[in-house]
């Protein structure tokens, strides 16, 4: 669907190691020195969903197809990146193309792993990155204001309206506030401005606290500091040990579950990241279940049945007649489509129906 999650952070905090584990492939070079990632690595990652396994037990399909997310591993930013330091503006542009930011923060001490700032301080590290994102946004808005002023002189009404919003936005972010807290963020003027600028601090941020093995079962002082910081900004922290996650890449399910149990956690940090990212992007899944394939289809929350059908094929929307719908719970409880129909749990829905997460669907169409 072209929706991406960008992994950012200072150099050498575990981004590429996390990316390796996320993609289950060693295609992002990971090394103990800054800027080991030069080009942004992109990968499509399956969204873990145990419901697909349960549907497959009933349908026994030839294959299973998961929903997916795009992840982008962006090279380490440093202080001054907005002015071109490190490898600067190029990477800020890569972040601009993503919808959600996963900010990997180092929350462990290890003298064998260098830190560009010389010590472990998660709040300092977070603020370095977020200041650079803010500086980049200030620069972008200043340039837009200059352009809008020229248009406004020509009596362009839209330009005048956007200029007023842009100047208010500039005052807001110059005080050190992220775009996401701007009170005019729902206005048409802001939406018109941000459609092109894709301002960095307007994006959802998830913090990934990268800990050592001991830090998984109990929050260390660095994680506690990060969680307090995140709570104050209404953001979320997901704890993971990138090293352990990478080690588990080739494990079978039983081995992985056993290792997680031994580490005192119930769910992999990477699974939490994928699920939370899926939610932050405003996405959900509906299912089709047949002998050829059990599949999760990705749609935005609030999508109507015809638009959901178009994800399979545009003709399904053009010729949409009705959608046959069984909730996931009913499909499982009554042992599949036939049992659900016999129990009266099969519904026919029209063009106005809002698809719910987990709906098992079959579309009637005529082209």
**Binding-site annotation, residues:** 12-17
C-alpha–C-alpha distance, residues 142 and 170, integer Å: 7
User: Roughly what angle, to the nearest 10 degrees, separates helices 188-197 and 157-174?
Assistant: 80
123, 207 contact by CB (below 8 A)? no
Rounded to the nearest 5°, which phi and psi values hold at 218?
Answer: -145, 135
Decide: 209 and 242 in contact? Cβ < 8 Å.
no
Backbone angles phi, psi at 274, to 5 degrees: -65, -50
- Rounded to whole angstroms, how far apart are CA atoms 230 and 243? 24
Burial label for 289, CB within 10 Å (0-12, 13-18, 19+), is buried
105, 211, 121, 111 alpha-carbon torsion, rounded to 10°:
-120
Burial letters for 158-183: b for 16+ Cβ neighbours within 10 Å, e otherwise? ebbbbbebbeebbebbeeeebbeebe
Quick check: 271 and 289 in contact, CB under 8 A? no
Secondary structure of residue 67 in the 3-state scheme: coil
**Burial of 14 per CB tally in 10 Å (0-12, 13-18, 19+):** buried
Tell me the binding residues for ATP.
12-17
Question: What 8-state DSSP symbol labels residue 180?
Answer: G
| Residues 105, 111, 115: CA angle, nearest 5 degrees | 40
């Amino acid at each position: 669907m072209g929706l991406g999650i960008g992994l950012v952070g200072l150099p050498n905090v575990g981004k590429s190691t996390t990316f390796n584990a996320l993609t289950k492939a060693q295609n992002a070079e990971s090394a103990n020195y800054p800027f080991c990632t030069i080009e942004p690595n992109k990968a499509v990652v399956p969204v873990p969903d145990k419901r697909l396994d349960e549907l497959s037990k009933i349908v026994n399909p030839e294959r299973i197809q998961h929903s997916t997310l795009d992840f982008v591993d962006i090279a380490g930013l440093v202080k001054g990146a907005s002015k071109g330091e490190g490898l600067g503006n190029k990477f800020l542009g890569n972040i601009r193309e993503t919808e959600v930011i996963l900010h990997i923060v180092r929350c462990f001490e290890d003298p064998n792993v260098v830190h560009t700032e010389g010590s472990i301080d998660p709040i300092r590290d977070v603020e370095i990155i977020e200041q650079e994102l803010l500086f980049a946004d200030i620069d972008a808005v200043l340039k837009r204001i200059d352009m809008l002023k020229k248009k406004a002189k020509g009596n362009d009404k839209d330009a005048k309206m956007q200029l007023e919003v842009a100047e208010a936005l500039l005052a807001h972010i110059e005080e050190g506030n992220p775009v996401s807290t701007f009170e005019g963020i729902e206005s048409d003027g802001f939406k018109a401005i941000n459609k092109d600028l894709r301002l960095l601090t307007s994006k959802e941020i998830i913090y990934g606290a990268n800990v050592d093995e001991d830090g998984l079962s109990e929050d260390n002082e660095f994680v506690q500091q990060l969680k307090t910081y995140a709570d104050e900004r209404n953001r979320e922290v997901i704890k993971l040990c990138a090293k352990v996650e990478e080690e588990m890449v080739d494990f079978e399910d039983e081995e992985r579950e056993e290792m997680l149990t031994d580490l005192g956690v119930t769910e992999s940090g990477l699974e939490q990241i994928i699920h939370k990212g899926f939610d932050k992007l405003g996405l959900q899944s509906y299912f089709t279940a047949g002998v050829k394939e059990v599949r999760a289809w990705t749609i935005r929350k609030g999508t109507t049945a015809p638009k959901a059908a178009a994800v399979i094929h545009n003709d399904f929307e053009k010729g949409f007649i009705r959608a046959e719908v069984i909730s996931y719970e009913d499909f499982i409880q009554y042992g599949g489509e036939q049992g659900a129909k016999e129990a009266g749990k099969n519904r026919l829905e029209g063009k106005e129906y809002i698809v719910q997460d987990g709906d098992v669907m079959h579309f009637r169409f005529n082209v």
